[in-house]
Homo-oligomer: A and B are copies of this chain.
Amino acid sequence: MKYPPLIIRLPVWVGNLLKNYPSPIANPDERMHLVVELARQNVDKGMNGPFGAAVFDETGNLIAPGINMVVGSGCSLLHAEMVALALAQKSVGRFDLSDGGRWHYQLFSSTEPCAMCLGALPWSGIGKLFCAARGEDAEAIGFDEGAKPPDWVTTLQRRGIAVERDLLRQEAVAVLRDYAARGGRIYNPVPSRG
């Protein structure tokens, strides 16, 4: 087959960072602290997109971390949330994290999901979404959030996915601003010549 496979593999520094955290992480604020730290180190380690995410179970066991790998991997789909969801599903061995509603998993994201990641949530079997920075905080440094429904929180809730916003928002915003101040790449594709 002439089409080479795509391998989604976390860098070694992620494993090293995780060693600094207890397991389980009982407190949602502490879980978000880890996620914001993933975003911060993703910038520090190679000026990758300033976004982190992670899937936890209800008691705070980390199922899988995620970081934005768009620039490093050359794949526009690899937003932090997508990486965390894909690796969490790989880890539990099924495409529906909830396994028909039997399990409750939570996605923590350092910034509210873009239109793609938002669309991915209902297919993933995730039960709750926690966000730090708001979509407009990412837009303020130039990132495009895509065509999200204005009432996106309600659209998720209607599908059984709870949403909690603004956990450690200021810490996450600081990571975004630092990335912009250091000249980080805002990698929205330019519309092609159609």
Would A120 and B77 count as touching, CB distance under 8 A?
Answer: yes
Given A162-B194, A191-B161, A192-B98, A91–B122 Cβ distance below 8 Å? no
**Is A4 located at the chain interface by the 8 A CB criterion?**
yes
**Is A46 located at the chain interface by the 8 A CB criterion?**
no
Q: Which residues of B contact A2 (CB under 8 A)?
A: 15
CA distance A147 to B118 in the complex (A): 9
**Binary CB contact string for chain A from 70 to 111 against chain B (1 if under 8 A, 0 otherwise):** 110111110000100111011101111110111111000000
Complex: chain B residue closest to A160, CB-CB:
B191
Nearest CB of chain B from residue A124's CB, rounded to whole Å: 5
Complex: chain B residue closest to A66, CB-CB:
B3
CA distance A75 to B70 in the complex (A): 19
CA distance A190 to B144 in the complex (A): 30
Within residues 126 to 157 of chain A, which ones have a CB less than 8 A from any CB in chain B?
A: 126-128, 144, 146-147, 149, 152, 155
A positions within 8 Å CB-CB of B:
1-10, 12, 14-15, 64-65, 70-71, 73-77, 82, 85-87, 89-91, 93-98, 100-105, 114-120, 122-128, 144, 146-147, 149, 152, 155, 159-162, 187-194
